[in-house]
Amino acid sequence: MQATRKTRKITVKFFLNQLLDPVINEKGKEFYPLYIQVTYNRKNMQLRSLYGKYYLDLMEVPSALLESEERVLRKIITLEASHLEDNYDLRGLKRKYEVYSLSLQQAIEDYLKPKLRLAIMKTNCELKHVLDFASTRATVPLLQAAAQKLLPDFERHLGTRLQQELAVYEQFQRLNKQPFPSYSFPMVIDWSDGSYKEELSIKGKAINKNNPELAKQMSALIDHAVSEEFMVFDE
């Protein structure tokens, strides 16, 4: 009879890193960044919270944020350890945490924005230079809408595939509207471990019953986006 592999304990603790310089408000109070200590197989690692900010004390941190960060880290370690079995340790967790913790919407933005920029740069209109691709507020839908108004020959430079991907992304956004602030949005880890794929299929079919292929199209778009995010680990 084959022995069952022992499940190793994962411990996640939050703290304010007071070893770093604080942000001081007008009343002289000191605020420190939110950090996380992860323990696995008697090895520790500390990393800065991706979505947390500066706080006076831990009581100020939204409980939903703490729950989300802990959930993601536990899922990352569980997924990585399942591939490497007893050889897994925490090396590389910081970089993978940055990718796994990305929202799927941000991953798609990172995938589509360079393609949209290339299409816009191909136009002959000088107004293309006013579009600020470096701004975090300049999302793909906003850039697309601005290009449609400013650049007369914009549409013909998109190409069939990019037009389809932009349309699918629009549907994905409608599907995943979240109240603000919210930490319940689907992340790359939820796609990588398969937990969001079934949910997407159900929601995709429900949002547009006249287009049964929509869920598959959204799935393909996310696959491309997530694959590009993980290319950094292959370099």
77 burial level (CB within 10 Å; 0-12, 13-18, 19+): buried
Q: Is the pLDDT of residue 159 over 70?
A: yes
For 43-77, write each residue's pLDDT tens digit: 899 999 999 999 999 999 999 999 999 999 999 99
Q: Which residues contact 34 (CB under 8 A, 6 or more apart)?
A: 14, 15, 16, 17, 48, 49, 52, 53, 54, 55, 61
Cα separation, 33 vs 16, whole angstroms = 6
Q: Please give the residue that has the higher pLDDT: either 80 or 84.
A: 80
Q: Please give the residue that has the higher pLDDT: either 18 or 130.
A: 18
For 205-231, write each residue's pLDDT tens digit: 776 667 778 888 999 999 999 999 887
For 106-127, write each residue's pLDDT tens digit: 999 999 999 999 999 988 888 8
